[in-house]
Structure 1
Amino acid sequence: MVALTHTPPSAERLRAVDEFLAEAWADQVSHDDRLRDLAVRVRFDRGVAHVTGEVPDGTHLRLVRDRLGRLAGVFGVWCRVRVAGREPVVVDLGCGGTKQYPGNLGLDIFPAPGVDAVADLSGSLPLADDSVDVLFAVHILEHLIDFLPLVDECHRVLRPGGVLHVMSPWWGHVNAVADPTHVRLLDVQTVKGICVQRPPGTPRWYPLHAGSDGASIFADLTPLPPDAPGPTPAHLARFFA
């Protein structure tokens, strides 16, 4: 048997990392005039930065995401932020009874408390083109034999600058195989494949962030227009082998 060396950190270490990240972000804000006066709140939970509040425009939100994503130990940057006073349209895919933020629109194949619309995620999403700011696909992709049609649908419904947040079990952790409803195994390299290894003419993605804590993989992806330049090799090297 081959031993897996990528083991998840303990709960105690994750709490310590969250404390470090909170201190590092406070220090970053204190030294960056662009961040200091922004009305955003950042909470770290097991290495994921949860951002709420308001910014004047999309450029400031992209700045916050980028600066947070550069902190060592951050696995994802999850946002529900008002831009210029407008509430974001945030959709939880396959939410069941649990949404990532209260007020999100919840879609699931089964009716349940918290599910706002019943939808088969293996088909078309009941959402208009360019109508959503943030999509959460938390523990969803591993349940679909072919998840690329859903990823393509996410690309269709996201507004320019929107973000798809992905979280799934890492293939080498027991959680990936312990649930018999999991039909796909995923790795951070799977995210690279979604972004740079698909055929010409298919929807294109730019990875804002990607990583793994040894139990789960995380990815924050934003849609690219057909004629936009893709990620540079230097940017990809931040996340992928």
Structure 2
Amino acid sequence: MREVWRMWQYSTMVVLTVLTAGIFAAILIPFKGIPLIPGFTELRPANVIPLVFGLLFGPAGAWGAAFGNLIGDFFGTLGIGTFFGFWGNFLAAYLPYKMWQNRPLGQLQGHRLPFLLAVLLGGLACALIVGFGVEAFKLLPFSLIVAAVFINNVLIALLLGPFLLKLLAPRVSRWDLYWQELMDAEDLVPGPAPRLGLILAWLGAAGGFALGLALTLGFLYWPGQPSLPIVLTPFLILLLLGCFLL
């Protein structure tokens, strides 16, 4: 995770962060008028940006997605959930690029399964973070918001992501803007346990998502069951620990 903090030392990475945030917000804002859950989320074709720009620009794409979502929230959905949306969208870009590693972005045909898994992991993590925050503050039922966030993220990314990557990847390569080409080798060192980190991230994101849905939809219950945020906290810890180990 070192690159997440070290990237601020590189002017080009900072510019790519601003670029990502601007594009993300510019696509988000016009669709604020098509709410899925009024005051919380809307139809978001812009959700392809965290995935694609994360894969292309690494940590710059992740920070850009976070700040772009923050800017977008100022146009109708600003509230307590904004904090969780900031970090949820950060992970929607961060986890895919960490999982993708060094696979060629211009040849998705040979890497369909890793691409699908990267999209799913980012979508699960984003949905869990946002759902946890909304549930903790009793703003909306967990099941409602996580379903909306997950479907919005995953479907848009799967539909538009391959096309956008095919369009942008050759140009980013030609212009030497891949994030791994912009940062020094010592700033690209992986975390202390990348494989363990990926396992923990999956357990935290998928486990928390599935258990939260099962509990809120009534498929699972036990006597003396604590509140949902307390139940989900261990999964959130697993997810965050996994992110730090990647």
TM-score (norm 2): 0.30
Higher strand share: 1
Which protein has greater RCO, CA pairs closer than 8 Å, 6+ apart? 2
